[in-house]
Amino acid sequence: MSALSAFPIATRWPAKHPDRLQLYSFPTPNGVKVSIMLEEIGLPYEAHTINIGQNETWIPEFLSLNPNGKIPAIIDPDGPGGAPFGLFESGAILVYLAEKTGKLLPADPAGRYETLAWVFFQMAAIGPMFGQLGFFHKFAGREYEDKRPLERYRAESKRLLGVLETRLAGRTWIMGDLYTIADVSMLGWVRNLVGFYGARELVGFDGLTEVPAWLERGLARPAVQRGLEIPPRP
């Protein structure tokens, strides 16, 4: 019997390689965190496209793995203690994969917690604020007559970019010379902000020095380039 048989999601999206880690995702800024991570660490996996445009995250099979109805989520057939293990929330997945493989997370406690602080900074600030700016600048929110929400999220997104600009001064990556899950967590979001959301001028991105250079370095990594396209859009 397959290790995945206990997971209802595997009946809706059957595994061709049930011995590999299963990724259920879509190439959004949150989704590509995990695909980039998997490409960086070289852990064998199988990706399943969850079509968020067709609300596939809200069907019972997906909700059985993530009750919050958001991508990404994973099932590791070789989880803790060798038992199958399901996990949701992109930040938690990054930490799990880093600890499972011993990659992209410093081993020393101080470096580990500092890296986690920047991952949580992304989860608590970068993601929500950039996402709201995208809504009010590009999507339905742009039709609202009241522009105060747009201005709020523009100002906060610009401020957060300033935090990154200060942190990256004199550093190649968020943690200095060491590329970590902190970088993985943020690359897709900053790329999306100035690209897909079209907010480059709105947040004064070209007035920065360190963040654009960091983004360019990150996007030049082959694993990042591959991960940004995984899983494929339908």
> 81 and 119, same structural domain?
no
Residue 69 has pLDDT above 50, yes or no: yes
What is the arithmetic mean of pLDDT over 84-97?
98
> 93 and 60, same structural domain?
yes
d(CA 158, CA 190): 11
| DSSP codes joined into one string, 148-212 | HHHHHHHHHHHHHHHHHHHHHTT-SBTBBTB--HHHHHHHHHHHHHHTTT--TTTTTGGG-SHHH
**Of 103, 125, 152, which one is at a domain's C-terminal end?**
103
CA 101 to chain centre: 18
> 187 and 135, same structural domain?
yes
Q: Pull the structure tokens for residue 108.
A: 């020393």
Selection from 202, 232, 214, 187 nearest residue 132 by Cα = 202
Residue 179 identity: Y
Give the per-residue pLDDT at 3.
82
d(CA 192, CA 58): 24
Does residue 85 form part of some domain? Answer: yes
Segments forming the whole domain that contains residue 203: 109-224
Residue 41: partners with Cβ closer than 8 Å, 6 or more residues away: 97, 98, 101, 103, 104
Residue 1 has pLDDT above 50, yes or no: no
> 45 and 124, same structural domain?
no
> 40 and 25, same structural domain?
yes
CB atoms within 10 A of CB 25: 25
Give the per-residue pLDDT at 25.
98
Number of domains in the chain: 2
Does residue 202 form part of some domain? Answer: yes
Report pLDDT digits (tens) over 209-234.
999 999 999 999 999 999 999 999 98
Sheet hosting strand 45-49, strand order edge to edge: 45-49, 21-25, 73-76, 85-88
What is the arithmetic mean of pLDDT over 199-211?
98
Burial category of 52 from C-beta neighbours within 10 Å (exposed 0-12, middle 13-18, buried 19 and up): middle
Report pLDDT digits (tens) over 125-157.
999 999 999 999 999 999 999 999 999 999 999
pTM strictly above 0.75: yes
Residue 2 has pLDDT above 80, yes or no: no
d(CA 57, CA 155): 31
